[in-house]
């Protein structure tokens, strides 16, 4: 986007704070509305705070029931209020949440600096209508087994929902790659993106939260702990997703070198790619969870300058109830048609799919 185009966009948009006031929403309500895609925002190509088009504010103010209708759609509840809404005990509500039956939309820290998850009231009502048998009686055996093992799907589902929605509203391929990169710790990220210029650019264009980063040090620490993927299959999926987004971003434009010298950086990356093709026949390497190499992607699908390949055996996740599986499909597992991280999950590529080319060898007999 040129300077003239960015100036035109800025002139026709307003800052998030003013947009929230114009729409009669509190800060938290406005942020959730943007997260859910209820309010359109625009961001400059090289990152920065999102802004709201003036025409979007005008459109929303004309919606029947304004402003109460928007506030009701983004209403959140905690454990006690959520349990009352479903007509169950708070302890059962917590067990259902830990099993992944519904996904938290946000969180806050209480006075003890413990994470308190919040849920959309509309989603809880939809769950009650969809799975009424889980609101009473004994929980399914599989769910009880998972909970006895200490499983807690809430952080993972929150991450997946957050990443998917950020990616869906990001039009720039480098911004989408930056969102995927945010789920990997620095070691994992350096293994997938070995070019320091590209890693720096991913940080630069990463979409900013609507109201900026958490203000308090405790909130920033909590966010830093919750953002990185922590399950082996989740890490593998995020690495594969980042690899795919990087391929698209590199096709769109190279990451600039210090000083904005794109041409020099493009030449150096092209030279590394040529050297990799000469050395390894054009094979690219993907590294799996825990820093182990997961395999080779033909034609440099994972990135230039990598030439070794080995196979990774990924453990099949424990079986879950229909409730858990529905939650994982909705909030944690990639959409239909996309590669998935675990077992025979929906969307897992077979035969010559991406994970097969990355050296995937699952235990569930899913190879094509």
Judge contact between 312 and 295, C-beta under 8 A.
Answer: yes
Low-confidence ranges of the chain (pLDDT < 50): 1-4, 263-322, 324-352, 356-368
User: Quick one: pLDDT at residue 190?
Assistant: 95
CA gap 292, 358 in Å, rounded: 12
User: Quick one: pLDDT at residue 50?
Assistant: 86
User: Quick one: pLDDT at residue 44?
Assistant: 72
User: Quick one: pLDDT at residue 260?
Assistant: 55
Judge contact between 135 and 148, C-beta under 8 A.
Answer: no
* Range 103-107 contact pairs with CB under 8 angstroms and sequence separation of 24 or more: 103/154, 103/157, 103/158, 103/161, 103/327, 103/330, 103/331, 104/154, 104/157, 104/158, 105/32, 105/35, 105/36, 105/76, 105/158, 105/161, 106/28, 106/31, 106/32, 106/35, 106/76, 107/158, 107/222, 107/226
Joined tokens for residue 317: 């996740």
- Of 54, 45, 46, 47, nearest in space to 15 by CA: 54
């Amino acid at each position: 986007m040129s300077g003239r185009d960015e100036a035109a966009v800025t002139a026709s948009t307003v800052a998030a704070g003013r947009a929230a006031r114009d729409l009669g929403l509190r800060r938290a309500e406005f942020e959730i509305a943007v997260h859910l895609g209820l309010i359109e925002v625009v961001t400059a190509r090289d990152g920065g705070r999102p802004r709201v088009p003036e025409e979007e504010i005008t459109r929303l103010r004309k919606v029947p029931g304004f402003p109460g209708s928007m506030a009701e759609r983004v209403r959140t509840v905690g454990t006690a209020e959520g349990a009352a809404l479903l007509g169950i005990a708070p302890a059962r509500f917590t067990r259902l949440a830990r099993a992944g039956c519904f996904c938290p939309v946000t969180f806050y820290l209480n006075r003890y600096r413990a994470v308190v998850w919040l849920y959309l009231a509309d989603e809880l009502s939809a769950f009650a209508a969809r799975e009424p048998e889980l609101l009473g009686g004994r929980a399914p055996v599989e769910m009880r087994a998972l909970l006895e093992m200490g499983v807690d799907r809430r952080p993972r589902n929150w991450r997946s929902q957050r990443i998917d929605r950020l990616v869906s509203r990001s039009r720039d391929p480098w911004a989408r790659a930056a969102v995927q990169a945010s789920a990997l710790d620095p070691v994992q990220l350096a293994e997938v993106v070995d070019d320091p210029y590209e890693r720096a650019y991913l940080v630069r264009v990463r979409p900013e939260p609507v109201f900026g980063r958490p203000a308090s040090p405790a909130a920033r620490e909590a966010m830093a702990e919750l953002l990185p993927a922590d399950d082996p299959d989740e890490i593998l999926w995020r690495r594969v997703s980042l690899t795919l987004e990087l391929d698209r971003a590199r096709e769109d434009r190279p990451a600039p070198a210090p000083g904005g010298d794109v041409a020099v950086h493009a030449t150096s990356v092209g030279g590394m790619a040529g050297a990799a093709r000469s050395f390894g026949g054009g094979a690219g390497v993907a590294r799996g969870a825990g820093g182990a190499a997961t395999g080779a992607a033909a034609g440099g699908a994972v990135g230039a300058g990598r030439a070794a390949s080995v196979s990774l055996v990924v453990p099949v996740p424990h079986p879950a109830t229909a409730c858990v599986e529905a939650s994982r499909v909705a909030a944690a597992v990639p959409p239909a048609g996309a590669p998935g991280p675990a077992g025979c999950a929906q969307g897992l590529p077979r035969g010559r799919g991406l994970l097969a080319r990355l050296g995937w060898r699952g235990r569930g007999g899913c190879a094509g």
